[in-house]
Chains A and B, each alone.
Chain A
Amino acid sequence: MLDAQTRATARPSGTEAPPIVAFEGVTKRYPGIIANDSIDMEFRAGEVHVLLGENGAGKSTLVSMLSGLQQPDGGRILIDGVERPIGSPSEALEIGISTVFQHSMLVPSLTLVENATLGRKWWQKPDRAGTAEAMKAAAERIGVNLDPMAVTGDLSLGERQQAEITRALMRGARFLILDEATAMLTPNDAARLGELMRRLAAEGMAVVFITHKLNEAVAYGDRISVLRLGKKVGGLAPDALKTLDPQEATNEVVRLMFGTRDASGAEEAHPDSTTVDRAAKPTLELLAVYAEAGRVPLQNIEFKVWPGEILGIAGIDGNGQKQLAETISGQAPVSDGRIVLDGAYIDRMTIGQRREKGVRYVTDDRLGEGTVGTFPMSINLLLKEIGQAPYWRGGLEQPEAIRENARRKVTDFDIRTPSIDTPVGKLSGGNIQKVLLARELAGSSRVVIFEKPTYGLDLANIAATQMRIREAAKSGAAVILISTELDELLALSHRIAVMDQGRIAGIVENEDGARHTIGALMSGAAK
């Protein structure tokens, strides 16, 4: 396989070899969204090509088209300069494209050797000894140490990925896709994978590395492409990446990822911080909070939120924002530290007790934990008050009270629904969000946590939701706004905290220059 590669690069033609895979205007639509909007991209041998983007930016769709799992709706795919569709995973393998997914694609109950022989003709006998030797040889060549006879389920995620990469090499891969490969790895394993990527590229392979960690992208990539809302918004070519120092490169990528309407750094409108009385008693206070149960453990989180203040939480997705929201709302346990609401400890309270004290959580998982899709809208509006008067009396539903409440909320929050009996799952994303807002903002709230409140909404609904966030703060509640949209945070928040790997990297007053400081904190440069 590598011989073929050397021949390809040593081709006597005057121009350089065509890219192994090239996308020309590739488009993929799903019902309701354009996941990939006419993407142009090249993947060359000997290069680590990093795809960066937030969740929902279209990275996964792009990968599934490269690996043959999905077919584009428009545009052309060129393999070695010749137009050719990647019709199925087996066709991708024939071309030499191998994918290592975020979740291991090895059968846990089989040994590594057995996994490596999967896919051969069924009547053949697996040659365990021979395959094991080939596997060891391939592993050694790329400097990986593995035991081919180990049962996959007993290995760590890092080891499984190394095995998957080794297996791809054995199959003659010349194009390796690493889909969010470092997302679940420990920092050490991630660094090891980075080194491995460099070695593979040096051997002449094309590596596609999908991540949303900027430091990894800059450290391991030869070429960076940034996706945003299904579009390729830019990137750094190899020569640019070589000339820039890591910090400049990171800044450039941050700019591409989060967008700047005014790259010149002109004045932006900030919310008026004078409305917040910092001399008063804070509504919510987190004191050295640790929460170790989640996937991203929270460490030493400390901040205060005053009445009427909006505290933005910035950070690249998956750095502990969701854990923070769940820890405050009571859905995740606090392992150390205290949470104080209006001078009283709430960290030992249940979710229900905290809600009674005025803690509200508008989740981003709107159809998962936010609503019951098959229940009518009217019941979803009361999901957290089931059994309580006046909607339930003596355990019996009071249909008129429930309907009356629903009708009122529909008008107040401008929920567009065919009827109040419509199952909430049938509504559009924007209207489901309005149902959630109507439910969470009802009654007297003291702390409201919004998690990615405008994610996936259209402009009108974004505006409506942002108005609700401002109103919640105006009514005197302490608001925590978690978002990955920097523009949104800058437009709404009084202060912005940046989260990085489960810690607060810093808290910035929202004034001129905040954008730059936040960008620096996000990329870990300020450490």
Chain B
Amino acid sequence: MTLFTDTFLIALIAGIAAAGVPLLLAGLGEQLSEKAGVLNVGIEGMMLGGAYLGFYIAWATESTGLGFLGGILGGMLVASLMVLFCVRMGLNQIVIGIALTLGAEGATALLHHVQFSRLYPRLSDVATWRIPGLADIPIIGPALFDREPVVYLAVALVPILVYVYRRTHLGLAVQAAGDKPAALDSAGQSVLAIRSFAVLGCGAMVGLGGAFMSIVGAGVFVPFMTHGNGFIGIVLAMLARGRPLWVLFGAVLFGACLSAATALQVAGVDIPTDVVQMLPFVAVMLVLLIAGRNAKLPAALGAAYVRGER
């Protein structure tokens, strides 16, 4: 079949990485937050915060490195509101999460409009790191091993988080905060501190994912540009049942759907674009139908912790 040329395959696989990295970061972030018992629905807003601030700093300083740091900061800024309202004050996590998403959508669109009006300045291409040896493999090499450093960082986060969850006290504390916060409290550790850390860590990862979308993926910032990536991240975290590796699998699966949607359009396959764009979301629903039933969520997910309340 003429469709599967080398160039098409390289574009498809590279596209999986490009679409999958924000999902991976969103899923890992949400997973950290949910493990600690905070259902973070504001993740879409954190992603937008990261996308905007990351893009703005990268554009202003002409440094993509600083841009990514800005993205982390942007995500954490929105996350700190979540910490304040949901962890410290114990307000409803879902309501605050939705408010943060809507608020970040409006705020970033407004800021962008004030600064750039109707112009959409474009960033120059991001430098890539070529991994000697691996990059010479046909098709996979150029698609996966000649990429922006953030891609490697995102993938490296998977084993790092596995290690943290399984091999450190921090990991145990995070899990206890989500499963039985009172146990953690009576063991003499602060539930609020652990949860604050988890939400901020989530904001950092998700913000980086947002910055990846604006700096690497699009090269521009467009209002509402994260369109649902954060929400897919929530689905990934739910299906992964606390395992970072499963988030990676999920991100690859959804990334493939997103990438295929683009690649099929580019290849000029005669299917209405609307149908093609539906693909990832159809995949979400299918996966939820098949695997969502057994999703095992932390017992105290979504419940604010107040000492002495039973």
CA A207 – CA B170 in complex, angstroms?
Answer: 32
Query: What is the CB-to-nearest-CB distance from A449 to chain B, in angstroms, rounded to a whole number?
Result: 28
Query: What is the CB-to-nearest-CB distance from B73 to chain A, in angstroms, rounded to a whole number?
Result: 23
Say yes or no: is A103 at the interface (Cβ < 8 Å to chain B).
yes
Q: Which of A107-135 contact B (CB under 8 A)?
A: 107-110, 114-115, 117-126
**Cβ of B180: which chain A residues have Cβ within 8 Å of it?**
105-108
CB within 8 Å for A117 and B172 given contacts A107-B179, A108-B180: yes
Query: What is the CB-to-nearest-CB distance from B237 to chain A, in angstroms, rounded to a whole number?
Result: 16
Q: Mark B176-193, 1 if CB is under 8 A from A, else 0.
A: 100110111111110000
| CB <8 Å contact, A126 and B186 | no
Closest partner residue, chain A, to B299 (CB atom): A108
**Cβ of B175: which chain A residues have Cβ within 8 Å of it?**
107, 109-110
CA A115 – CA B189 in complex, angstroms?
Answer: 13
**Cβ of A89: which chain B residues have Cβ within 8 Å of it?**
185-188
Query: What is the CB-to-nearest-CB distance from A231 to chain B, in angstroms, rounded to a whole number?
Result: 22
| CB <8 Å contact, A126 and B183 | no
| CB <8 Å contact, B168 and A119 | no
| CB <8 Å contact, A70 and B172 | no
| CB <8 Å contact, A109 and B179 | yes
**Cβ of B186: which chain A residues have Cβ within 8 Å of it?**
67, 69, 89, 99, 101, 105
| CB <8 Å contact, A123 and B176 | no
| CB <8 Å contact, A122 and B188 | no
CB within 8 Å for A122 and B182 given contacts A64-B308, A107-B175, A110-B175: no
| CB <8 Å contact, B189 and A124 | no
Q: Which of A48-84 contact B (CB under 8 A)?
A: 64, 67, 69-70
**Which DSSP category, helix, strand, loop or mixed, fits chain A's interface?**
loop
CA A169 – CA B299 in complex, angstroms?
Answer: 27
| CB <8 Å contact, A126 and B169 | yes
| CB <8 Å contact, B187 and A119 | yes
* Max chain A Cβ within 10 angstroms of own Cβ: one of B170, B180, B189: B180
Q: Mark A364-380, 1 if CB is under 8 A from B, else 0.
A: 00000000000000000
**Cβ of A107: which chain B residues have Cβ within 8 Å of it?**
172, 175-176, 179-180, 183-184
Closest partner residue, chain B, to A121 (CB atom): B169
CB within 8 Å for A126 and B299 given contacts A107-B176, A110-B176: no
Say yes or no: is A93 at the interface (Cβ < 8 Å to chain B).
yes
| CB <8 Å contact, B176 and A122 | no
**Cβ of A103: which chain B residues have Cβ within 8 Å of it?**
310
Say yes or no: is A466 at the interface (Cβ < 8 Å to chain B).
no
| CB <8 Å contact, A69 and B307 | yes
Closest partner residue, chain B, to A115 (CB atom): B183
Query: What is the CB-to-nearest-CB distance from A480 to chain B, in angstroms, rounded to a whole number?
Result: 30
Say yes or no: is B173 at the interface (Cβ < 8 Å to chain A).
yes
Closest partner residue, chain A, to B185 (CB atom): A89
**Cβ of B307: which chain A residues have Cβ within 8 Å of it?**
69
CB within 8 Å for A126 and B179 given contacts A69-B308, A119-B189: no
CB within 8 Å for A93 and B169 given contacts A69-B307, A69-B308, A107-B179: no
| CB <8 Å contact, B183 and A93 | no
Q: Which of B269-306 contact A (CB under 8 A)?
A: 298-299
Query: What is the CB-to-nearest-CB distance from A195 to chain B, in angstroms, rounded to a whole number?
Result: 25
CA A415 – CA B283 in complex, angstroms?
Answer: 59
| CB <8 Å contact, A105 and B182 | yes
Query: What is the CB-to-nearest-CB distance from A173 to chain B, in angstroms, rounded to a whole number?
Result: 12
| CB <8 Å contact, B188 and A119 | yes
Query: What is the CB-to-nearest-CB distance from B242 to chain A, in angstroms, rounded to a whole number?
Result: 8
Say yes or no: is A90 at the interface (Cβ < 8 Å to chain B).
yes
Of B172, B183, B189, the contact of A105 (CB 8 Å cutoff): B183
CA A31 – CA B180 in complex, angstroms?
Answer: 28
| CB <8 Å contact, B172 and A126 | yes
Closest partner residue, chain B, to A100 (CB atom): B186
Query: What is the CB-to-nearest-CB distance from A215 to chain B, in angstroms, rounded to a whole number?
Result: 27
Of B168, B184, B308, the contact of A125 (CB 8 Å cutoff): B168
Closest partner residue, chain A, to B181 (CB atom): A107
Query: What is the CB-to-nearest-CB distance from B178 to chain A, in angstroms, rounded to a whole number?
Result: 9
CA A105 – CA B173 in complex, angstroms?
Answer: 14
Query: What is the CB-to-nearest-CB distance from A399 to chain B, in angstroms, rounded to a whole number?
Result: 32
CB pairs A–B below 8 angstroms (25 shown): A89-B187, A99-B186, A101-B186, A105-B186, A106-B183, A107-B176, A107-B179, A107-B180, A108-B299, A109-B175, A114-B172, A117-B169, A118-B172, A118-B189, A119-B173, A119-B187, A119-B188, A121-B169, A122-B168, A122-B169, A122-B170, A123-B168, A123-B170, A125-B169, A126-B172
